[in-house]
Amino acid sequence: MTPHDTHSPTPLSDIKVLELGQLIAGPYCGQVLADFGAQVIKVEPPGKGDAMRQWGEADRDTGEPLWWNVIGRNKQSLTLDLRQPRGQELLRELASQADVIIENFRPGTMERWGLGYEALSRHNPRLVMVRVTGFGQEGPYASRAGFASVCEAMGGLRHLSGYPDRPPVRVGISLGDTLAGLHAALGTMMALHQRDRSGRGQVVDSSIFESVLAMMESLVPEYARAGKVRERSGSFLPKIAPSNAYPARDGRDVIIGANQDTVFRRLCEAMGQPGLADHPDYATHRARGEHQAAIDDLVAAWTREHDAQQVVDILAEAGVPAGLVYRAPDMLDDPHFQARESIVEVPDRHGQPLPMQNVFPRLSDTPGRVREVGPALGEHTEQVLTGWLGLAPEALDALRADGVI
């Protein structure tokens, strides 16, 4: 890990973003935009802020939750009570100068506050409004609360996760939220590109359930045209072989993916059994799919003769995709992670180095970067309101006294 670079240009440095809402889906969209240089103003309720400030494990030295440092990174914090008319008025003034506004409230909330797209775009027709919800802006479920767990289930992911003899399981992260945030960021960039041509903004509607559904490959047409309902299969994909987790002598598992014909031949040679590649049960993709259990047994018998790292080294030399199942300490110690600076150290608010994932994808000329960890609540309130709106100190004092900021 090396210290973060603060000097290279970033591609979104001319974009102003207001981020409303809380938790993960909308704020992850803001994180992506901020990582690539956009000025993202995080608008939070006075006194409590985003709930993400309290989520996750706490720093063992300071007692402060750590997750906020990641999802709030590169952003500025402005406290503003959007339930008060004066707070709504200030938001309208800020939106008149913004390029993008991100919100992940339930549909209709912004409209009740007089902050819907129709109202805001009257004063700023170039505004792009990014709306991130569980079920989208319309439809019979639009008004429902939509956490990632529920939307992952409705999008098809949960039914496929786990083993067939047990109830479906969830991935140990809020994957649906992050997928919705990524789709929202992608939609933002497309809307900004179209704005460059038309001069007008538009609404980006990113739902969690559809963001998960988008990842479901051929699940729907397989049912519609082949009558096939995909089911849970555990650590492998049906008819894709060999591609599984295989036990090593030292108790660790090795993930091996050798289902392509040429790669399977290389695996057989590395295992010292080159004849398997021409055996009629294993010579083609479809044949290996039909004899999946048998071929997995053959590969597992070989991996059990070696320690896990030895298996990975042998297969890397042979050109066969293979790797260990990494945890955080493995990532921090891995030389490839280090060489690519996949994890970067950023000073926290106490000046201590805090490792976290770097910015992805990588751009050759204008890469994103982690400039700073998540801000303190309201850290930039005065700076934003004076810089964007020109408010005088006595106006700020009055807003504080009324609990608006």
Residues known to be catalytic: 177
Cβ atoms of 368 and 359 within 8 Å: the answer is yes
CA distance 224 to 59: 50
Helix axes 261-270, 308-318, angle to 10 degrees: 130
CA distance 177 to 164: 25
CA distance 322 to 244: 10
Cβ atoms of 273 and 279 within 8 Å: the answer is no
Cβ atoms of 346 and 5 within 8 Å: the answer is no
CA distance 352 to 60: 13
Phi-psi region of 91 (alpha: psi -120 to 50; beta: other; left: phi over 0): alpha
Q: How many residues does the chain have?
A: 405
CA distance 65 to 259: 43
CA distance 376 to 399: 19
Q: What DSSP character marks residue 335?
A: H
User: Is 141 buried (19+), middle (13-18) or exposed (0-12) by CB count in 10 A?
Assistant: middle
Q: Count the Cβ atoms, other than its own, within 10 Å of residue 258.
A: 27
- Name the residue among 293, 154, 173 with its Cα closest to residue 233: 293
Q: What DSSP character marks residue 53?
A: G
